[in-house]
A = this chain, B = another copy of it.
């Protein structure tokens, strides 16, 4: 992994480390929305929401037109695919854990552990 890929992953993870920003993404997954529409469900000022939107935009998670208040925001799922790929490299560990638990349950119930 190059330095810039590493920095990019850090930026995506940091952008996702906030419940309001994740809620904004969940809203945009249903379709595009203006900043005003995004601000509505939150007890937050428009500048506060705009700040969150900027963090998501810098991480590449949303795209937005130039006239921020009126142009709709759109979700871009490319960074989420990157996160998903990064997480996948650890899948073999949790699948091994499930196999071990499965063997243990077999043993408890008096059966032989399954062949691996």
Contacts and interface: CB of A to CB of B under 8 A. Distances in A.
B13 A16 contact: yes
Given A29-B90, A80-B87, A17 B19 contact: no
Interface residues of A, number: 31
**A interface SS class:** helix
A46 interface: no
A78 B87 CA distance: 11
A75 B89 CA distance: 13
A10 to B, nearest CB: 5
A48 to B, nearest CB: 17
Interface string A60-98: 000000000000000101101101101111110110010
Given A80-B90, A90-B80, A7 B19 contact: yes
Interface of A: 6-7, 9-11, 13-14, 16-19, 22, 25-26, 29, 75, 77-78, 80-81, 83-84, 86-91, 93-94, 97
